[in-house]
Every structure is written in structure tokens, then in C-alpha cells.
Structure 1
Amino acid sequence: MPRLAAASLAGTAVEFYDFFVYGTAAALVLGPLFFPEFSPLAGTLAAFGTFAVGFVSRPLGSVLFGHIGDRHGRRPVLFASLLLTGLATVGVGCVPSYATIGVAAPVLLLVLRFLQGLGLGGEWGGAVLLTAEHAPPGRRALWASFPQIGPSVGFLLANGVMLALSAGLTDAQFRDWGWRVPFWAAGLLAAGGLLLRGSLAETPQFERITERARLPLAEVLRGHWRLVLLTAGALSVGYAVFYAVSTWSLAYGTERLGVSRTVMLVCVMAAVAVKGAVTPFAAMLGDRYGRKPLCLAGCAASALWMFPMVELLHTAEPLLMFTGFAGALLAFITMFAVVAAYLPELYEPRVRCTGAAVGYNLAGVLGGALTPLVATVVAGGGGPPWGVAAYLSGIAVLSLGCFALLPETAPARERARRPSGDAAAV
């Protein structure tokens, strides 16, 4: 299990590095470079629009790679998704600016971002099922939480490289070529991830399936459509909160509050580091007390914390901004530490890769793709952006209702007594 967990964590870290480095670049430099004829606000919105495309393609990736995972195994998904995302990310770093090739520049950016999302849509399902289907009963949430630490590691890598370049280069150098370096580095990271995953074995639960789904998506839509919609709505708040902190706040802090890039990146990175460190402990609570109580608590905490977070952000004081971000991400990880075990347990093994991944990535469209755009529009005038807080709290209430309608997959002590160890039968 440690070797499997390490391989899953490393792969998701690399894939989310690829995904996050684009979000950071969109908040800091892509608007002026690829949409120079727009106003600063419109340029930021356009850059966030290309950012959103990656979320739109993620459900398509979950359908494509979910089909492979349910028909041919979880292992092939891990290789194909990582390779696709790595190549697309390196490509972003090679796209000339608008000043060089004109309108072809944002078009290429859009296509490569689409491919990034396609690859990431397949990564989550494969990595989570690799650990969840190998994990022993009573410890499934803990082991399945390791891929959930990957996004924190990927974010810290992406923003750490951006921070070092931003601090070590002049503004002109950073805008000219410095922002491209993190994208080029994705090639080396992807190669390392592929090597690490080379010796992984297929999951025992997949090998025990005697009759595999011929068209997994059709079976999911026919027999589990309500479950897919509920999980998408339930997880939307996690995406909304995370990308409000990690992407929108960077643009708002630097453009509206006049805070330096370095200070904003440090505040967000410190909060993400706290989130990553807490992830396995929240997962252990999920093994002890069940998945649903943790998810409901995280939604409630998110709804209550959004207004204080916005007020703390508006102070432009580093320590206070960090406190606001950390509180929001702790509420977020209370939910997302256990969903890697929760979602697979809700689906039968023959369609599990497709069902869990589609629900998870569809939530990204509802919560992650729209949040930076909506938040930028409703941020308001000179006062604290209460419209953003109201929007995020509203999503939290919606997610709370969806989680309330989902079943608990079984307490850990009951699941440990089941001979099969498979909670999908509940």
C-alpha cells in the first residue's frame, strides 16, 4: 500500500501541477500577453475563460478514460492521462504571444488547455481507484486520501516555481519568458511520473469482475444518473472554494488591492500546505465516523466562513489573508479528504471508474470553471467583495443539500466485518 499510495500521489501531483500552473499564469500574465487589445479587467476575464475550458473538458476526459478503466483496467488510464496532460502543458509554454502570431495565439492556448483538462479528467479516477480498490477494509479513506494530497503538492510546486521566477526576474523578464519555464518543466515531471508508475499492478477488484460493462457511460446514465447529478452538486462547493482561494484571489489581490505577486503567492501557498498536511487526518476521521458526516461538516463550515474570508482578504494584510485562506481550505479538505473513498463506494465495480470520475469532474464545471469568472464580475467596487462571499456561500448550501440526499456507504466498523470488504453492496 505505501508504494501504491506514493505512485498515486506522485502522479496526481504532476497532473495537478500542470493544471494549476495554468491557473496561476492566467491570474498573473496571460491576459496582457494573449488578449492585449482588451482592458485589464476584460483581459483577465478572457484568460479565466481559457482557464475554464480545462474544466469543461474534464468530464469528457472522465468519459473517455473511464471507458478504458472499466473495460481494460485502471492501470492503462494512469499512463495515458499523465502523458496527454504533460505534453499539452509543455505545449502551452511554447505558444507564441499575440504580438507574434496574432489571433492564433489564444486559439492554440484554448486547444492545449482543452487537452490538459481531458487528461486530468482521466487521472483522478485511475489514481483513486488504484488505492481504494487495493486498500484493506476500515482504512480505505486513509489510503485513498493520498491521491488527494497530490493536488496540494502540485499546487505548491507550480506556485513555488512561479514565486521563484517572479522574485528573481524583473517584471519584463517574467512577462517575456519567465512564465514559460514552469510549463517546460512539466515535461521532466511527467517523465518521472511515468517511470514511477511502470511497476504498478492492476487492482484485485477489477480482476475479479467476470462480466465487464460494454458501454460503461450508457450503464451509468441509465442506472445511476441521479447519483451522478447529486455527487456533482455535492462536490461543487469544494471546487468553488479552492479556486476562489487559489486563482481568483491572486488576480483580485494583485490588481484590485495592489498586493505584490510574491506576497499573494506566499499566502495562498502557506494555506495550501496546511490543507495538504491535514488531509490524511481528516481521512482517518472518515474511516472512523463515516464519509457523510465529514462532508456535511465541510459544507456547513464553508457556508459560514466565506464572509469572514472575504473580509480578511480585503484587509490586504498577509497574516490575515493567510488566516482567511487557511480556514476556507480546511473546510474544503474536510470534504475532499474522504470523497476519494466515498465516490467509488457509491458505484458498483463494473462502472466505478466512469461513474465516480464523471460525477467528480462534472462538479469541476459547476464549481471550478465558473468561480473565477463569476467572482471577477461580482467583486464590486471599492469595498469588500460581498457578492463573492454570497455566491460561494450559496454554492455551499446547495452542496449541503446534495450531500444530505446521498447515502452513507457504511461505518468503518461495519465494513471491516464484511467478508468481501466491498462497500458497493450497501
Structure 2
Amino acid sequence: MHTHEPTSYQPDSPPPQREENPKKVSLARVAAASSIGTTIEFYDFFIYGTAAALVFPHVFFADQDPATATLASFATFAVAFFARPVGAIVFGHFGDNIGRKRTLVWTLLIMGIATVFIGLLPGYDTGAFGLFSDGIGIWAPILLVLCRFFQGFAVGGEWAGATLLTAEYAPKGRRGMMGMWPQLGPAFAFCLSSGTFLLFTFAASGEMDADSAFLQYGWRIPFILSAALVAVGLWIRLAVEETPVFKTVEIRQTTETVRRLPFLDAIRHQWKEILIAGGALASLFSLFYMGTSFLTSYGTANLGHSRAFVLAMGMIGSVLFGAAIVASAMWSDTIGRRKVIGASCVLAVPWTLCLFPVLDSGSPVAFAAGLWITLIIFGIAYGPTGAALPEMFQARFRYTGAGLGYNLAGILGGAIPPLIAAQLVGSGDSFGVGIMLAVLSGISVLCVVAMHESSRNDINAGAQDESDEESATLVT
């Protein structure tokens, strides 16, 4: 019995030729647009995570005891991960129908507006810049959750579109290298967000009550300043042309009298790839968001390290995992995506079991090493992911399929583990956190085994090859 392999394309006729000069000229713009877009989106995302660890328990959940306030704060952090699949479906629909570029402009705008609004929100019992001097009570956390939902909604559509820009423009044999540019966005963003909070921590240190100044207004400034970054990102992103692969799909779609929703097509034809991608990348997300957000809280609240020290170590860590992203992405062009991602998942199993015993020694050196190694292992898997997921899906629903797989991993690895970890740490069982992370990494190893190597797939040819299959589908 013949089975169709949806992730491999071998057309009899070559893909249409494109002009080489426009493509070469646009590569630098594509790299810049994808990288700065993810940098801005994740900067907005990370300043929320940093604030959730250091500020929000005091500002938005002031009526709760410290342990409950911390758990509630991380619960609002998790809201975005459940909003991300919604964003992947909505923006995937438009990205697969009206284009990658126009959709990415909207994701950037929505993220920027939601982030600035968070910076202006009054707290539970404190005002904002002289407004609502007595706070707004229960409306404060409600509005915070709403803003967080829109952050996640925007990020759900951002990543897939940014990676498609680079993957669909990449020269043959260099998709991993091109795909690393949007993947570097989180590294830049984590360094920028940690540095911004560190700067305002030092700026407030000269005041009589530095902690009070930071909680009253210092934390708000990074959120409001993101408006300037969004303006720069829009300027660069609007200058990018639509990808050649989407133009091919768009021309074909204009001749069709019947269209299916990309979401339904992705679920119908490649549901296995969505599930495998979600499971394979769950370890990646758990390491990243534990390292960037949870350990910020754990280092200050449980281990007693200063806020400045923890933020500074985060900045150094961002450089290290950025280097790991570059090396692994380029390496994946040589040996394949599957082997590199699998190596990260295998390393994560023993490391996560060791992580909290190392951290609980209380040594600043141990905290730095624990944070850095966690982020480096994450970076090894994250580098090839920017090319691997677009390669796994057919062009007509690639935006939707890649977004669904990526954001499913976000729920499994980024939303649930920090919530469970906060409860385990609150009950004094930090080693249980390591066991949870090790089990999750073990599941990722199994999913990587089930993956097909995608680095040799011709995604440009796939846009042509799908026309016959779509016609047959419409007839039946």
C-alpha cells in the first residue's frame, strides 16, 4: 500500500526560476526583519516574565500571602502560552492566505500595544504615575491577564511567520544558517530585558527606599519604552518583500473556486507532524522559560541572591545561548536538524536532575553555572528549529502548521512546568522540579526519534508540487 509522505517533495518539473539579483539584495533585509521582529516580540514577552518574578506578586496580588502571590503571578505568565495556539490559528490563516509580511506587521502592533498598556496599569492598591492613587483592586489582575493574553496571541503568530520569511528565502543548503536569525531574537531580547531591569535597579539604588522606587515606577519604564522598539521594527519589516514561495501559492489560489481553511488542512493532512513537533520541542521550552523566568524568581526569593546579580547572570547567559543557537543552526546544515535537536534533548535528561541540587548549594558560582548550562542546552535545540518546522509542512498551510507545532510545545514546556515548579518549590521539593523536567525531556527524546530528517526537503518545490494534490482533494 502506497503512503504519501507529506514532508518530502520530489516534483518531476523544476520550480519556477526567480530573479537572482532581487533575492540576493533582499537576504540582508529578510534576516534583519525576522531577527528584529522576534527580538521586539520576545523583549516584550521577557520583561513580563522578569516582572512576574520580581514585581507582580507585590503590585497586582498584594492581598495574597507571598507564596500564593508568586503562584498567581506565574499563572498570569502561563496565560500567554494558552493564547499562543489561538494566535497561531488566526494569524496562520491570514499568513497562509494574504501573506507572511502583512500578517507579521499586525503581530508586532498587537504585541506593542499590549505591552505598553501593562506599563500603564495601576496596581491592586497602588496607582500608576500619579493616577488611581489608591489602586483599582481586583480590576488590576483582571486587566493584567487580558494584556497577557494579547501578548501570547501576538507571539503565537509571530514566530512561524518570521521563520517562514528566512526559510523560504534561504539559498539551497543554508536554511539552517538563515533560520538562525529569527532564533537569535530571544537571545537579544533576554539580554535587553535583563539589562533594562538591571539599569533601572541601579538607577533606583540611590534613593532612600530603592525597592519601593522600583516597585512603584521603575519596572514600568521597560514596558513603555517598547513602543520605540516597535516603531523601529515596523519600519524595517514594511521594507521586506513577500516570499517567493508564498507568491507561487498565492497565484495558484487565485485560480481555485474552492478553498479550505489552512487550520483544517493542517490538522487533516499533517496532524502527526504537529504532535511530534510539539513533543520534540517541549524540552526546549521547559529549559528556556525555567531559565529565563522561574530561575529569576528562585534565585532572588529562595536562594537570596541579589536582584542585580541574577539579572547580570541572565545577560551573560543570553550571550552564551545566542552562541549556541548560531553554532547548532549552522551545524544542522551539515548533519541534519534531527540529530542536533536530539542531542539537546538527551543532554537535558541528566542535567535537569542535577540542576536543583547544584542551585541549592547556595553558591553564586553554582547559580551562574546552573543558569548558563540550562540556556546553552536550550540553544542547541533552538538553533535548528527555525528551519526544521517550516521544512515539515506543506506550503499552502505552512504558516499554520509550523505555528501550531511550535505553540503546542509552548504549552507543554513553557506554561505547565513553571506552574508545577512553583507549587513544588513552595512545598520544599525542589528536586521534584528536576524530575518533572527530566521526564519531559525524555518524552522529547522519543518524539525526536519519530521525526523525519527534513534538512534535504525542497520547500520551494513543495509549493509547486502541492497543486496536483490540492486539485485531487477538491475533486473528491
How high is the TM-score relative to the length of structure 1?
0.95
CA contact (8 A) 2:333 2:455 kept: no
Note if 1:68 corresponds to 2:68: no
Of 424, 433, 444, the match for 1:399: 444
The match for 2:220 is: 180
The match for 2:107 is: 81
Distance 1:345 1:425, change over 3 A: farther
Distance 1:131 1:49, change over 3 A: same
Of 359, 377, 395, the match for 2:423: 377
Aligned length: 420
CA distance in 2, matches of 1:270, 1:29: 22
The match for 2:278 is: 232
1:381 Cα deviation from its structure 2 partner: 5.8
CA contact (8 A) 1:270 1:322 kept: no
Note if 1:340 corresponds to 2:386: yes
The match for 1:112 is: 147
1:88-99 correspondence to structure 2 within 5 Å: 88-99=114-125
CA contact (8 A) 1:21 1:183 kept: yes
Q: Secondary structure at the match of 1:98?
A: coil
Note if 1:59 corresponds to 2:59: no
Distance 1:259 1:204, change over 3 A: same
Note if 1:33 corresponds to 2:78: no
Note if 1:222 corresponds to 2:257: no
Distance 1:424 1:279, change over 3 A: farther
CA contact (8 A) 2:100 2:161 kept: yes
Distance 1:393 1:174, change over 3 A: same
Note if 1:18 corresponds to 2:44: yes
Of 137, 144, 148, the match for 1:102: 137
Q: Secondary structure at the match of 2:122?
A: coil
1:273-288 correspondence to structure 2 within 5 Å: 273-288=319-334
One-letter code of the match for 2:439? G
CA contact (8 A) 1:152 1:273 kept: yes
CA distance in 1, matches of 2:110, 2:464: 31
- What's the CA shift string for 1:226-269, capped at 9, x where partnerless? 21111111111111111111111111111111111111111222
Distance 1:277 1:423, change over 3 A: farther
How high is the TM-score relative to the length of structure 2?
0.85
1:370 Cα deviation from its structure 2 partner: 1.4
- What's the CA shift string for 1:277-324, capped at 9, x where partnerless? 221211111000001000110100111211232222222322222222
Q: Secondary structure at the match of 2:304?
A: coil
The match for 2:367 is: 321
The match for 2:236 is: 196
CA contact (8 A) 2:101 2:238 kept: no
CA distance in 1, matches of 2:460, 2:197: 47
CA distance in 1, matches of 2:110, 2:459: 39
- C-alpha RMSD of the superposition: 1.8
CA distance in 1, matches of 2:287, 2:465: 32
One-letter code of the match for 2:73? A
CA distance in 1, matches of 2:60, 2:342: 41
CA distance in 1, matches of 2:94, 2:45: 22
CA distance in 1, matches of 2:353, 2:147: 35
- What's the CA shift string for 1:374-417, capped at 9, x where partnerless? 111112666x8211111111100011111111111145xxx6xx
One-letter code of the match for 2:214? F
1:33 Cα deviation from its structure 2 partner: 1.0
- What's the CA shift string for 1:100-134, capped at 9, x where partnerless? 11101100001000001111111101111011100
Distance 1:419 1:236, change over 3 A: closer
Q: Structure 2 stretches of 5 or more lacking a match?
A: 1-26, 126-134, 205-209, 254-258, 467-476
One-letter code of the match for 1:388? V
CA distance in 2, matches of 1:147, 1:193: 13
- What's the CA shift string for 1:319-354, capped at 9, x where partnerless? 222222221222111111001111111111001000
CA distance in 2, matches of 1:151, 1:62: 18
User: More displaced, 277-286 or 79-88?
Assistant: 277-286
Of the two, which has the highest radius of gyration?
A: 2
CA contact (8 A) 2:292 2:314 kept: yes
One-letter code of the match for 1:191? A
CA distance in 1, matches of 2:322, 2:103: 25
- What's the CA shift string for 1:198-240, capped at 9, x where partnerless? 2100000111114445300010111111211111111111111
The match for 1:355 is: 401
1:422 Cα deviation from its structure 2 partner: 5.5
CA distance in 2, matches of 1:335, 1:349: 24
One-letter code of the match for 1:308? C
CA distance in 2, matches of 1:175, 1:10: 29
1:272 Cα deviation from its structure 2 partner: 1.8
CA distance in 1, matches of 2:342, 2:298: 29
CA contact (8 A) 1:252 1:376 kept: no
One-letter code of the match for 2:137? G
CA contact (8 A) 1:348 1:425 kept: no
1:425 Cα deviation from its structure 2 partner: 7.5
CA contact (8 A) 1:410 1:423 kept: no
